[in-house]
Amino acid sequence: MKPTNDVPHAQPPQNLPPVEGKPIHLHILAQVPEENIPVKTQRPETYAAGIPGVARSLKHLLKQMSPLAATRTMLKLNQKGGIDCMSCAWPENDDHRHTAEFCENGAKAVAWEATSARCTPDFFAQHSVEDLSNQPDLWLGQQGRITHPMHLAPGATHYQPISWDAAFDLLASELNALESPDQAVFYTSGRTSNEAAFLFQLFARQFGTNNLPDCSNMCHESSGSALTPTIGIGKGTVTIEDFHHAKLILILGQNPGTNHPRMLTTLERAKQAGAKIVAINPLPEAGLLRFKNPQTIRGAILGGTPLADLFLPVRINGDAALLKGVMKHLLETDAIDKNFIATQTTGFLELAANLAAQPWQPLIEQSGIPQAQIIELANALAATDRIIVCWAMGLTQHKNSVATIQEIVNLLLLRGAFGKPGAGACPVRGHSNVQGDRTMGIWEKMPPPFLDKLEKIFDFKPPRKHGYDTVDSIKAMHAGKIGVFFAMGGNFLSASPDTDYTAHALQKTRLTAQVSIKLNRSHLITGRQALILPCLGRTEIDQQQSGPQFVSTENSMGVVEMSQGILKPASEHLLSECAILCQLAAKTLGPKTKLDWHALRNNYDLIRDYIAKTIPGCDNYNEKVRHPGGFYLPNAPRRGNFENTSTGKANFSTHPLTEIKLAKNQFLMMTVRTHDQFNTTIYGLNDTYRGISGNRRIIMINDEDLLELGLFAGDLVDLTNNFGDTQRVAPRFTVVPYPIPRRCAATYFPEGNVLVPIDSVAEKSNTPTSKSVIITITKSSPASPAAAPNAARTPATAPPTAST
């Protein structure tokens, strides 16, 4: 391998020789629709959970597991010293945990992982890659746990089993044959443990690259990019306990009923303690209307707890306009914390001048919220400084996402809502350990102090040049600059924007390798050859030479806690994530590393000892993580300390209003999840709370817009995005009338990803704008080429339009 891994590369890697012998099948690039299943609709639900939620959980568990295994596992889920749920990253209470400390999402995730179904070498012998590509994602996941390492040889039509030694030899050979370490990409999913994440970044950097994209690049990267310069940390600043003291909770761009159901218990407790809740979202979501907690008499029998005191149906990407209006009124009525602003912030005068000069009418038009309701929200904020603002991807996936999140910080600073109980910022993470991945060093731009520690502790020179994030990795692959793509978990193709473009990019590599537990679409769109490396799930016993091992994770509020599986592994041929990385690193690096990777594999305490030496706040890691409930990582802004910003104070920021302009026939589309999925994992075909089922290729549109378009419920339409020089078409989506603001539309993720342009990204964070896609909607013609089951990506024939 040239140059050696201790020399930073001043120039980007050159294009690799063209990949030969790998045909590109256009018909297998994008999602396949559910076959001939009509969409069913009914009245949306007005509450979340309740006894029906329990019934759905049991149905999923008992369909995949024995009653005994399901009971044993669920009683350990999210318990102290138990199994950390592989679903969302919402934390548990510090003071008390219920016997059943899980939600419907957690039950589905456990059933999906701990299923008794098996995907064996015989299965792969029976099904070619092309055959598998014609199956929907739900079917792929239903085939069960992958039991053996599998190899797709150059030009082969079927995966075949391969030994672990041969798989590591192949990977090491391909990596070491690269002209530059920067011709490799190492991607990480948010389900990866802290221990595996630490090993992964260490291996990549000892190999010689900072190409460490992760799923955070596509979700909360905008949050980190907004928070770090303004308050000095890229994480939230509240704890679960803060919700018990809050007087006003704002929830923007988030659907907790489907995506973070355990958050509803926290909101219920806050509500019962006297908090008011404001829901700000383009869609009315059942989980923010009423929560029926099945563990209480009130929830099971008496109708549950109403949550949102005020619902503001903001236009897609109208949140910044709404926040500006609120702050404008606070300033006009002098409802600000002058002492906090004077002593702990900078930049106030510039913000005040900007808001004073801002006319009201554009704020009303862009937000879609009447001025009277904006003032109602402002008055509620003026009445208290115990304010928590929560947000998720409804805010992070727009061109102006960083600016919008900094408006949240501005609002909290105006009210002095930091450094006190019941106040602060709360970005709600999705994946269970995506925040831990970043803490452990999974980032293409880790700061010099972190790299200095690696150099000192591990006696090598880490690369200093910034690596590729997710979008830049896709572009580099598409340009032929990447030879090896290695994914530690996840479903990269389905999670990424511009599906067709990403698929072509992956197929231009020489080797794609995926560490996985079940089959997904990324195994079907590969480089010249491919590997599937099956690993243990979080529910399974991880037995190494020194005994049973545990791993650790970090939740949305910076709590690090242990997780230890209890189930027999799905196959004797599975390795843990840590074991895979240790064996691969030892094989690839050889004499270039001074680290005893085999010792780390045999005893994870040794990994945690290195984490303790490297990661701030992780001293005595082995001791603290074994403490029941784990431990909190340092968080200075939580204490009202902003010393880590460039000014040593919290920084106001000033941004112009982003005006979204649509032509007469255009709509602003966002992608959302259904109730029967978690990220790219599809559990079923029901979007229960929205009353939609049977098929995932749907588009939600306002009734009045349908009337203008001459469309009716059930019509099939083609969705088109023109951006740059490319036209993207997603054909045959079923129209579903839904209460969404005018000129807005919603499709499901990942089916709608084919319309998200690779070059349309958030400023500063480079996150794909999956919540701001400008589309046109036309009725499908059965005779039209667009009626094929997948999206087409062709040079645009119409003038390009902006994506905001």
Mean pLDDT of 523-535: 97
- CB 693, CB 686: distance < 8 Å: yes
For residues 617, 618, 621 and 626, what is the CA-based torsion angle, rounded to 10 degrees?
A: 60
Q: Which helix (H) or strand (E) covers residue 162, if one does? A: none
For the cut 90, the answer to whether the pLDDT of residue 52 exceeds it is no
Q: What is the mean pLDDT of residues 357-385?
A: 98
**What pLDDT does 2 receive?**
35
> How many CB atoms lie under 10 A from the CB of residue 365?
14
Q: How confident is the model at residue 23 (pLDDT cuts 50, 70, 90)?
A: very low
In tens, the pLDDT along 548-595 reads 999 999 999 999 999 999 999 999 999 999 999 999 999 999 999 999
Alpha carbons 416 and 206: distance in angstroms, whole number: 44
- Of 84-93, 384-393, 504-513, the poorest mean pLDDT is in 84-93
Lowest mean pLDDT among 156-170, 591-605, 784-798: 784-798
Q: Is 451 exposed, middle or buried (0-12, 13-18, 19+ CB in 10 A)?
A: middle
Specify the pLDDT at position 164: 98
CA-nearest of 447, 387, 389, 444 to 417 is 387
pLDDT value at 7 more than 70: no
Reading the block at residue 458, the tokens are 């591990």
> Following DSSP, what letter does each residue of 341-367 receive, concatenated?
HHHHEE-HHHHHHHHHTS-HHHHHHHH
In the three-class reduction of DSSP (H, G, I as helix; E, B as strand; rest coil), residue 187 is classed as strand
Residue 580 confidence (pLDDT): 98
655 touches 411 (CB < 8 A): no
- Cβ-contact 667, 773 below 8 angstroms: no
Q: Indicate if the pLDDT at residue 454 is higher than 90.
A: yes
Q: What are phi and psi of 223, to 5 degrees?
A: -65, -50
Tokens of 341: 């602003």
Q: Distance (Å, rounded) from C-alpha 175 to C-alpha 585?
A: 11
pLDDT given at position 29 = 42
CA distance 776 to 729: 10
Give one word for 215, left, alpha or beta, with left for phi > 0 and alpha for psi -120 to 50.
alpha
Q: How far apart are CA 462 and CA 602, in angstroms?
A: 25
Look up residue 518 and give its two tokens: 């079940």
Every domain of the chain with CATH number 3.40.228.10 lies at: 221-427
Q: What is the pLDDT of residues 609-656, one digit of tens each?
A: 999 999 999 999 999 999 999 999 999 999 999 999 999 999 999 999
Q: What is the pLDDT of residue 20?
A: 54
DSSP letters, 659-727, are P----TTEEEEEEE--TTEETTEE--SEEGGGTEES-S-EEEE-HHHHHHHT--TT-EEEEEEEETTEE
Residue 581 in tokens:
């990385």
* Of residues 737 and 678, more confidently modeled: 737
> Could you tell me which residues are beta bridge partners of residue 180?
none
Give percent of the chain above pLDDT 70.
93
pLDDT of residue 788 exceeding 80, the answer is no
Query: Does 666-795 carry CATH code 3.30.565.10?
Result: no
pLDDT value for 47: 87
- All CATH 2.40.40.20 domain ranges of the chain, comma separated, are 666-795
Question: For residues 719 and 739, what is the distance between their CA atoms, to the nearest angstrom?
Answer: 19
Interatomic CA distance for residues 667 and 670, integer angstroms? 10
Nearest C-alpha neighbor of 92 from the set 741, 765, 632: 632
Q: In terms of Cα–Cα distance, which of 160, 286, 133, 224 is closest to 691?
A: 286
- Say if residue 804's pLDDT is above 50: no
Average pLDDT over residues 173-181: 98
8 Å CB contact between 442 and 201: yes
pLDDT given at position 602? 97
Strand partners, 699: 735, 747
Please, are residues 593 and 206 in contact by the beta-carbon 8 Å criterion? Answer: yes
Contact assessment for residue 148 and residue 534, using Cβ atoms and an 8 Å cutoff? yes
More confident residue, 783 or 400: 400
Cis peptide before 3 (omega within 30 of 0): yes
The band of 12, judged by pLDDT with boundaries at 50, 70 and 90, is very low
For the chain, the C-alpha Rg in angstroms (whole number) is 25
Mean pLDDT (whole number) for 684-710: 95
Residue 695 in contact with residue 47, Cβ under 8 Å? Answer: no
Task: Round to whole Å and give the CA distance between 509 and 487.
Answer: 13
CA distance 129 to 529: 12
SS3 helix, strand, coil % of the chain, rounded to 5?
35, 20, 45
CA distances in angstroms from 10 to 3, 70, 454, 463, 464, listed in the order given: 11, 53, 21, 10, 10
pLDDT over 80 (residue 797): no
Whether 27 has a pLDDT exceeding 50, the answer reads no
Mean pLDDT along residues 344-367? 98
Q: Contact, 282 vs 771, CB < 8 A?
A: no
What number of CA atoms fall less than 13 Å from residue 278's CA on the CB side?
23
Backbone angles phi, psi at 238, to 5 degrees: -115, 165
Average of per-residue pLDDT across 137-154? 96
Q: Is 310 helix (H, G, I), strand (E, B) or coil?
A: strand
Reported as a pLDDT band with limits 50, 70 and 90, residue 18 is low
Is the pLDDT reported for residue 349 higher than 90? yes
Q: DSSP state, 476?
A: H
Residue 787 binned pLDDT confidence (cut-offs 50, 70, 90): very low
* Band (79; pLDDT cuts 50, 70, 90): confident
Q: Which of 116-130, 294-308, 673-687 is predicted least confidently?
A: 294-308
Going by pLDDT thresholds of 50, 70 and 90, the confidence category of residue 35 is low
Say which residue, 12 or 237, is predicted with more confidence.
Answer: 237
Q: pLDDT grade, residue 4 (50/70/90)?
A: very low
Average pLDDT over residues 488-499: 95
What's CA 781's distance to the chain center, in Å?
Answer: 35
CATH, domain range 116-213+433-627: 3.40.50.740
The answer, yes or no, to whether residue 100 has pLDDT greater than 80, is no
Helix H or strand E segment including 729:
strand 726-737
DSSP string, 575-612: B-HHHHHHHHHHHHHGGG--S-HHHHHH-HHHHHHHHH
pLDDT value of residue 30: 45
Instruction: State mean pLDDT over 746-773.
Output: 96
* Residue 536: Cβ within 10 Å count: 26
Q: What pLDDT band is residue 300 in, cutting at 50, 70 and 90? A: confident
CB of 288 closer than 8 Å to CB of 308? yes
Is 90 exceeded by the pLDDT of residue 697? Answer: yes
Residue 9, pLDDT > 60, answer no
Residue 789 has pLDDT above 50, yes or no: no
Kindly report the average pLDDT of the chain as a whole number: 91
103 to 77, 110, 116, 265, 740: CA distances (angstroms): 10, 11, 21, 10, 27
Token pair 């009445």 is at which residue?
A: 383
Q: How far is it, in rounded angstroms, from Cα 55 to Cα 43?
A: 20
Residue 246: name the closest of 339, 378, 381, 409 by CA. 381
- Give me the mean pLDDT over the 349-364 stretch: 98
The answer on pLDDT for 297 being more than 50 is yes
Residue 802 confidence (pLDDT): 33
* pLDDT reported for residue 729: 94
Confidence of residue 36 (pLDDT cuts 50, 70, 90): low
On the question of pLDDT at 33 being above 60, the answer is no
Buried-state track 72-105, b at ≥16 Cβ within 10 A, e below 16: ebbebbbbeebbbbbbbbbbbbeeeeeebbbbbb
In which residue ranges of the chain is CATH 3.40.50.740 found?
116-213+433-627
Task: Please check the confidence at residue 31 and state whether its pLDDT lies above 70.
Answer: no
Is the bond preceding residue 750 a cis peptide, omega within 30 degrees?
yes
The pLDDT of residue 199: 98
CATH number of 221-427: 3.40.228.10
Mean local confidence (pLDDT), 759-783: 94
Q: Provide the β-strand partners of residue 514.
A: 487, 532
The pLDDT value given to residue 549: 98
- Burial profile 231-248: b = 16 or more Cβ within 10 angstroms, e = fewer: bbbbbbbbbbebbbbbbb
Residue type, position 653, single letter: S
Contact 90, 555 (CB under 8 A): yes
The two tokens of residue 473 are: 């990795």
CA angle, residues 566, 569, 570, in degrees to nearest 5: 130
Output the CA angle 18-588-538, nearest 5 degrees.
Answer: 100
**What six digits make up the tokens of 130?**
């092309």
Q: Are 594 and 460 in contact (CB under 8 A)?
A: yes
